[in-house]
Every structure is written in C-alpha cells, then in structure tokens.
Amino acid sequence: MITIQTLATGSTGNCYHITDGHSSLLLECGIKFKSIQKALNFKTSNIAGVLVSHEHKDHCKAVQDVANRGLDIYMSQGTADAIGIQHHRIRPVPCKETFRVGTWTVLPFDVQHDAAEPFGFLIANQDGDKLLFATDTYYIKYKFSELTHLMIECNYSQKILGENVESGRIPEFLMERVMQSHFSLENLLVFLKANDLSRVQEIHLLHLSDSNSNEEEFKKEVQAATGKLVFVP
C-alpha cells in the first residue's frame, strides 16, 4: 500500500510525501522546510530520504535546510553540481542504478527537461507496489510494467497553449520553452496508452500550468483513456 500526499505542486513549489506504512519519502523539496513540517504535522522522524528531480528552485528550494535537519537527499551528479551546495547529506546517484532508502527501492531514470541532469524515479516498496514519479519532462522514452501508482506531470494542453499564443496572452518564445520542457496532456495520453496499466490503482496529475491547463478537462480525459482513479492535487 502506498499513501500519497501532495504538499505543493506547480511553478511556485513542488513537494510530495509518500509512505508505505513503514518509512516515508519526500519527493522534491521546493517549498520552505517549515511549510513541509507544518503540512506533515511536524511528524518528520520517519522520513527515510528525499528525492530531488532537478535543480530548479521550485523543486529544490529547501535542500540546505533539509540536509541540515539530517535527511539524506538523492539526486543526479549533474543536479548536485548545478545546485552547488556542499553537504554530506547530499547523495549523488547514477542513472538507471537502483538504490535503497528505508523500505523503498528506487530506480532513477533520465527525462527530458531544460536542466543539467534531470531524473524521474521508479519507486517500489516491499509489498510489490510500484510508483512512477515523473515531472518536468516533455517526453518519457521508457515503458514500465506492473505499475500501481503514477505521479506524473500534465502541465498543459496543446490546444489551450495555442489559443493563448493566438490571443496574445502568452508570447511565442514562451510556448517554445513550455513545449521543450513540460509534459502535455496529449503526450501523456500517448505515454499511458503505451504502458501496462493493468495493476494501476491511482494516477496523480502534477504540475498543471496556471494558464495553459484545465483541471476538470484533464481529469476527465485521463479517466476516459485509462479507466483509472485520477487525482488532480
């Protein structure tokens, strides 16, 4: 069993808490550590570690404070170099090599984003549950089997983005950046169709754009395409 709690999602900050009932993980720490503590009712003693996908501040803002509190933080070497904080709690891990954190097994994999060495994570517990965490990527080249939970970016739709550019709400150069760094609804649907979802219990859509998304529409489309329980935190 995996329980997922979203503490923050979106361009202002990202942080998620998962637990299997034995140990827990933080996925990203892009908000103040005090905010993390408050959201978790100051119950942070069973956090086994923190996974950080890349160096953009909305994903790693609290790295220094988290490290100072004695939590190990796992990220790519490229992300660690880009963040530039020297601390013995920052643990660079290689791409596509599994490691253990508490009761979890974690497999980092490469994703496509405008960052130094961004990661997604395949996270499994001892009961056979498998969670895919992928945010801030415009494409995922891998296929996964026996997933039970997905936490995945659905930042924008090409239709809404195009309409915003056409109306002048968004400049064309910004459209290019969005398309080259974030997962669209359309790409997400293609990805979901290509993967084995037979065991999936929940799909959590993350990092929706404030101006280029439609929460209700995205939820309905993913539910219709998968037949699964979909959450938009």
pTM of the model: 0.95
Longest dimension (CA), the chain: 51
What is the mean pLDDT of the segment spanning 119-146? 96
Task: Please report which confidence band the pLDDT of residue 181 belongs to, taking 50, 70 and 90 as the band edges.
Answer: confident
Give residue 45's pLDDT.
83
Give residue 180's pLDDT.
81
What proportion of the chain, given as a percentage, has pLDDT over 70? 100
Q: From 213, 210, 28, 37, select the one nearest 118 (Cα to Cα).
A: 28
What is the mean pLDDT of the segment spanning 58-82? 97
Any idea where the domains of the chain sit in the sequence?
Answer: 3-231
Q: How far is residue 84's CA from residue 232's CA, in Å, rounded to a whole number? A: 33
Measured CA to CA in angstroms, residue 4 lies from 136, 150, 154, 156 at distances of 19, 10, 17, 23
Checking if the pLDDT of 174 tops 90, the result is: no
Q: HSE, CB side, 13 Å, CA atoms: give it for residue 33.
A: 12
Give residue 84's pLDDT.
96
What is the mean pLDDT of the segment spanning 149-157? 96
Give residue 178's pLDDT.
82
**Average pLDDT in the chain:** 95
Q: How far is residue 98's CA from residue 67's CA, in Å, rounded to a whole number? A: 22
Q: From 116, 111, 12, 113, select the one nearest 55 (Cα to Cα).
A: 116
What is the mean pLDDT of the segment spanning 74-84? 98
The CATH class of the 3-231 domain is alpha beta
Give residue 19's pLDDT.
97
What proportion of the chain, given as a percentage, has pLDDT over 90? 89
What is the mean pLDDT of the segment spanning 139-167? 94
Q: What is the pLDDT of residues 3-47, one digit of tens each?
A: 999 999 998 999 999 999 999 999 999 999 999 999 999 988 889
Are residues 75 and 51 in contact, defined by beta-carbon separation less than 8 angstroms? Answer: yes
Give residue 179's pLDDT.
84
